[in-house]
Chains A and B, each alone.
Chain A
Amino acid sequence: MNTNSVSVRDLSLSFGAVTVLETLNLDVKDGEFLVLLGSSGCGKSTLLNCIAGLLDVSDGQIFIKDKNVTWEEPKDRGIGMVFQSYALYPQMTVEGNLSFGLKVAKLSQAEIDKRVARAAEILQIQPLLKRKPSELSGGQRQRVAIGRALVRDVDVFLFDEPLSNLDAKLRSELRVEIKRLHQSLKNTMIYVTHDQIEALTLADRIAVMKSGVIQQLADPMTIYNFPENLFVAGFIGSPSMNFFRGEIKDRGGRKVVEINGVDFAMDAYPARGPLEAGRKVVLGVRPEHVKVDEPGAEIHDAVVDIEEPMGADNLLWLKLAGQTISVRIAGARRYAPGTAVKLSFDMSMASVFDAATENRI
């Protein structure tokens, strides 16, 4: 039995000579929260617009609930969509905005009232129903926009960067609300964002995109801890992963990565295959996987360059093997610049990429 809610098959899209998406495949499971993550211009919004039916595809097929909707109008696809700019109809009240689509679909007034009341209750916007969008704050507007998708009673919700226009505090509030909404409604949701925090916190699975190609599709923890290639590793995480260019060497049977003459033992690294000596690689270590002045298998000397206390965490910038690396330690541990420290890497959580292919090895 097929439990895919949305399936994209060999989707291609080009505007004239510019190819935005090329033979892209994607399956979204029923009830799944999938996040399309990437920097601007990577094709994530384009993909969402294709799924919504707002863009005509050049080639390929789109299935929603096992129905081929490639040529269907947006309204016939069983989708609701929330936009970055809210896109509320300015001349209508909140109630008018919520009921517009239902009136176009010629539903009975009783049914319209029922659905609007339910959406207003879920989103707690009952007091706003008689107001115009211009009289609402950004957070309230986006809530109404979500409500407009909600009243359509659809299987699939599409979010196009819904929180990008909000300030930081509202963003985190509404993020929680969207997650709660998903937990109670259990609809399929596809969510486009360039914000990795949103992606990591909301998603069941994340699809990291670059130049119209999905780089990795996995659950957030896998994406974070086991990035498939150098791009994903560098894109996710703030501050970003520390990268060291080096070469694999054989030291009497033990495999090490040599970086500027310093050896880093690879015993604990969960390699996918044999690490051949002489292979040029990039070693990646996240800031929180570097231990400072703690007992470890292998100790390196480093000097504190800059300290950035951030409250819960303390971020140190250190000089090691001729490179600057960032290290995240507990906020209570303070180091003055110039302090000599002893570092060790948690190699079981490190990532090693082939320098040429940039893929994980």
Chain B
Amino acid sequence: MAEVVTLNNSSAKASTATKPVAGPRGKKPRPMLSPRNIMIYGALLFAAAYYLLPLYVMVVTSLKGMPEIRLGNIFSPPVEITFEPWVKAWATACTGLNCDGLSRGFWNSVRITIPSTVISIAIASVNGYALANWRFKGADLFFTILIVGAFIPYQVMIYPIVIVLREMGLYGSLTGLIIVHTIFGMPILTLLFRNYFTSLPEELFKAARVDGAGFWTIYFKIMLPMSLPIFVVAMILQVTGIWNDFLFGVVFTRPEYYPMTVQLNNIVNSVQGVKEYNVNMAATILTGAVPLIVYFVSGRLFVRGIAAGAVKG
């Protein structure tokens, strides 16, 4: 006991003796206005302003009335804020014969985007899982063909697909467009899922097989719960891709099923009457809002999913 006490004493002495009295200690202070910081923040602010300026112009223009726009000061904030253009863009703007604004296109786009996204991700994730974990015969050939598909320009395939859809009786319908979106999403999504599943430890898959789990049990019970980030990545890719699609929407559907992008084009590019810049701007922001919201809500997961392949689990 006595020994312990002396030991404690000596260690206490040692610590007081070695304690620094003067001189720098702890974290090194960094001045905010160092040349390094000015360079970094200056460059970042400039880049941010460069990209945000068009958005700013769109927003202020959409909140002005037409007389104010005609003055020509596109950067000046609105003197009199009006939401009239937004209401008009959504509910009463005319495209062709219809005068119910973008709302029709919005709901069409929703009815196209949701099934296309869900179906394409469901199929592609199973594809990727089979390619990564179940090395079936001809897997490499199948994968190569799929990847080649990703590099063929869409325009080449439009006419053949029109014929195929016509023969199936689906030309001009929403179902036809959903099938087209699902198929065209397949190469890149399959590649995405295959690479992600390949990056998961193979021994997990082996352990599940020894445990007696089959194809679907492993997929649903083992792989799916570990793959949320990559599903979010796929979801964002598909939602933004399909929502922003113009070409397929205008080619494969009838006017009453036109997606929002096609309607937007018809509003903005109308050659008759006055150019209602404020309505055009509001309509454009409305159309772009959905992918933006999707990204802001799940952006953090998106980055994680993209990085997941590089980080060891």
Contact = CB atoms under 8 A, between A and B. Distances in A.
Nearest to A76: B212
B204 to A, nearest CB: 5
Contacts of A2: none
Contacts of A85: 201, 203
Interface stretch (B191-199, B221-229, B233-241, B302-310): B221-229
A87 B226 contact: no
Contacts of A152: 211
A54 B209 contact: yes
A74 interface: yes
A49 B206 CA distance: 9
A105 interface: yes
A240 interface: no
A303 B208 CA distance: 59
Contact of A54 (B206, B211, B213): B206
A90 B221 CA distance: 11
Given A84-B203, A90-B226, A79 B210 contact: yes
A335 interface: no
B217 interface: yes
Contacts of B313: 90
Nearest to A100: B211
B207 interface: yes
B201 A87 contact: yes
B225 A91 contact: yes
Given A83-B203, A87-B201, A87-B203, A101 B225 contact: no
A231 interface: no
B209 A104 contact: no
B206 A81 contact: yes
B211, B217, B225: which has the most chain A beta carbons within 10 Å?
A: B211
B217 A81 contact: no
B202 to A, nearest CB: 9
Contacts of A49: 206
B211 A104 contact: yes
A49 B210 CA distance: 11
A83 B204 CA distance: 9
Contact of A80 (B210, B213, B221, B225): B210
A148 interface: yes
A120 to B, nearest CB: 17
Interface in B7-23: none
Contacts of B225: 91
Nearest to A77: B210
B222 A74 contact: no
A91 B203 contact: no
Contacts of B210: 52, 54, 74-75, 79-81, 101
Nearest to B201: A85
A84 B221 CA distance: 22
Given A85-B201, A104-B217, A91 B226 contact: yes
A74 B226 contact: no
Interface in B25-39: none
A105 B212 contact: yes
Contacts of B222: 89
A29 B34 CA distance: 75
B226 A148 contact: no
A361 B250 CA distance: 85
Nearest to A84: B203
Nearest to A106: B212
Contacts of A88: 207
Contacts of B203: 83-87, 160
Contacts of A87: 201, 203-204, 206-207
Contacts of A86: 203
Nearest to B205: A87
Interface in B255-313: 313
Interface in B171-219: 201, 203-204, 206-213, 217
Contacts of A90: 226, 313
A148 B211 contact: yes
B206, B210, B226: which has the most chain A beta carbons within 10 Å?
A: B210
Given A91-B226, A100-B221, A83 B206 contact: yes
A192 to B, nearest CB: 13
A74 B221 contact: no
Given A100-B221, A104-B213, A104-B217, A83 B207 contact: yes
B221 A75 contact: no
A101 B201 contact: no
B201, B212, B213, B217: which has the most chain A beta carbons within 10 Å?
A: B212
Contact of A74 (B201, B204, B209, B217): B209
A100 B208 CA distance: 8
B7 to A, nearest CB: 27
Contacts of B226: 90-91
A75 B209 contact: yes
Given A90-B226, A91-B225, A75 B206 contact: no
B292 to A, nearest CB: 31
Contacts of B212: 73-75, 101, 104-105
B223 to A, nearest CB: 10
A340 B182 CA distance: 83
Given A100-B221, A104-B217, A89 B204 contact: yes
Interface string A15-56: 000000000000000000000000000000000010011100
A53 B211 CA distance: 12
A243 B94 CA distance: 94
A79 B209 CA distance: 11
A52 B207 CA distance: 10
Interface in A168-196: none
Given A75-B209, A89-B207, 19 more contacts: A52-B206, A53-B209, A80-B210, A83-B207, A84-B203, A85-B203, A87-B206, A89-B208, A89-B222, A91-B225, A100-B221, A101-B210, A101-B212, A101-B213, A104-B213, A104-B217, A105-B212, A145-B207, A152-B211
* 7 closest Cβ pairs, A-B complex: A101-B211, A75-B212, A87-B203, A91-B225, A87-B207, A83-B203, A104-B212
7 contacts: A54-B209, A79-B210, A81-B206, A84-B203, A89-B204, A101-B212, A145-B207
